[in-house]
Structure 1
Amino acid sequence: MQSQKNLSIAHAWFEAFNHHNLDKLLSLYDDEAQHFSPKLKVKLPETNGYISGKEALQSWWQDAFNRLPTLHYKVTSLTSNSDRVFMEYIRTVEGENEMLVAEVLEIKDNKIIASRVYHS
């Protein structure tokens, strides 16, 4: 069942992210995957919050892992269907307030083709 497979992808995503394992994280994505984040919009205004492709994803996350070595996500809820996973989690960084985050992973052929982050 694709819904279960998509949940497995989400679990692998959290595992890779929380271990700051970029190779494993990127292996979950399609080569041309798109990503939107409000933090991208602030840090790199020229992107308007959007980046595309594994090279851009790698650069974005490597920068985050370098700047925030204690960055960690705690899953609070996962909901999946045949083509996406809606993830809710708590973003923690030592010395910063916790942040509630929602993220949607769009999945096709067992690869993430798009992700969108929402938070306040």
Structure 2
Amino acid sequence: MEIAEARRFAQGWVDAWNAHDIDGVLAHFADDADFSSPVAAQLLPETAGVLRGKAAIRAYWAVGIERIPDLRFEVVDVYTGVDLIVINYRNHTGGLVNEVLHLGADGLVVSGAGTYLVADAAAVSGVQPG
């Protein structure tokens, strides 16, 4: 992926997140995509942090938006690799996070992971208890 294309992808991704538009974020994902996150493991322990398919990803993100009403991201930088994009961003609490997204031939995310600098990712994400 060319860096200009990756930056456009990241801008659409962050715009959708900042609008709390889950379907807008999911438009970047294949129907059978999987996504892993230590926050998902903390909020939805039955998933062990791995969400399979758009419905599961949507359900997790809906919980996150509900518990983090002031959710907002700012892209710090974007990195590319072979069929890969990494979006380095700062969340509403000031924490640095990376989304590592593997893209299929159609340009949609087939696999993704949220990565954090600390073990208690939910706390640094500002998740309010449910």
Flag whether TM exceeds 0.5 (same fold). yes
Question: What 5-or-longer segments of structure 2 have no aligned partner?
Answer: 119-130
Question: What 5-or-longer segments of structure 1 have no aligned partner?
Answer: none
Counterpart in 2 of 1:23?
Answer: 23
2:92 is the alignment partner of 1:116: no
- TM-superposed CA distance for 1:76, in Å, is 0.9
Q: 61-70 vs 32-41, which deviates more?
A: 61-70
8 Å CA contact retained: 1:83, 1:107: yes
8 Å CA contact retained: 1:74, 1:90: yes
Paired residue type of 1:76: V
Output the TM-score relative to the length of structure 2: 0.81
Aligned pairs for 1:1-120 (under 5 A) are 2-3=1-2, 4-92=4-92, 97-108=93-104, 109-119=106-116, 120=118
Aligned pair count?
115
SS at match of 1:20: coil
Output the TM-score relative to the length of structure 1: 0.87
Counterpart in 1 of 2:126?
Answer: none
8 Å CA contact retained: 1:7, 1:80: no
- TM-superposed CA distance for 1:118, in Å, is 1.0
